[in-house]
Amino acid sequence: MNSIISTRFLNLYYNEFHALKGITMDIQPNTVAALIGPSGCGKSTFLRLFNRMNDLIDGVKITGDVLVNGKDIYADVLDVVELRRTVGMVFQKPNPFPKSIFENVAYGMRVNGITDNQYIAEKVEESLRQAALWDEVKDKLKKSAFEISGGQQQRLCIARALAIEPKILLMDEPASALDPISSAKIEELIWELKKDYTIMIVTHNLQQAGRVSDTTAFFYLGELVEYGDTKEIFTQPKDKKTQNYITGRFG
């Protein structure tokens, strides 16, 4: 099966600091890949490679290959706006826009030049349904996104990412700021969404990684220590460092 996401001998530097070291990894379509490891080990930096969010940081240098659908996304000819349509991002803290619930989801379509109001309305409903939020907000679409709970805001941000029809969803600790019930809803949602999307999730919650992911990558000090089937990583890790992290001996 062809990978939808690949890196080959990837290195990333912040000026002199070597943040990611020689990472080679493949992710298959319609799977959930969890990135785990102690704080500061490179997980979020690795995640942000795939929609070129690291471009916004001064002094970043990248060597090696980063491929999405077989294309080198750091090639000079690449359209970054088009890439970000293919690769959606959901952040740690819910970050709705100061607009109505409806306009939060419609925003990406309007920015991309879609003006057909019927299409926009249908897509807003579809995206909110996909994010398991429609039934909770269908009677308050004109209300401010700030009037709903944090867990609902995070699902709204997921709906906003889905509305522009990405192929890949990057999630940087999407449930860490939420209460346990809201976190469980996000986890159920991730499991549902992988039917249509490929998902990469950074999480500090090992139980969550175990529940939602097909594959798990353990990062430590900028290196990919171990990557494989989640059940195997959690029950029979090959590397002592992975075992120590999973059993709580460090990190």
Res 43 pLDDT > 70: yes
Q: How far apart are CA 186 and CA 191, in angstroms?
A: 9
Res 10 pLDDT > 70: yes
Q: Are 227 and 36 in contact (CB under 8 A)?
A: no
Q: How far apart are CA 89 and CA 50, in angstroms?
A: 10
List, for residues 113-159, the tens digit of each pLDDT value. 999 999 999 999 999 999 999 999 999 999 999 999 999 999 999 99
Q: Are 19 and 13 in contact (CB under 8 A)?
A: yes
178 pLDDT band, cuts 50/70/90, is confident
Buried/exposed code over 182-209 (b: 16+ C-beta within 10 A; e: otherwise): bbebbbebbeebbeebbbbbbbebbebb
Could you tell me the end-to-end alpha-carbon distance of the chain, in angstroms, rounded to an integer? Answer: 34
Beta-strand pair 17-27/5-14: antiparallel
Of 212, 217, 213, residue with least CA distance to 241: 217
Place of tokens 């996000």: 186
| Three-class DSSP labels, 88-128 | EEECCCCCCCCCEHHHHHHHHHHHCCCCCHHHHHHHHHHHH
Q: Are 43 and 141 in contact (CB under 8 A)?
A: no
Residue 96, both tokens: 């709705």
Supply the pTM of this predicted model.
0.93
Q: How far apart are CA 231 and CA 88, in angstroms?
A: 27
Res 251 pLDDT > 80: no
DSSP string, 125-170: HHHHHHTT-HHHHTT-TTSBGGGS-HHHHHHHHHHHHHTT--SEEE
Q: Residue 143: its pLDDT value, please?
A: 97
243 pLDDT band, cuts 50/70/90, is very high
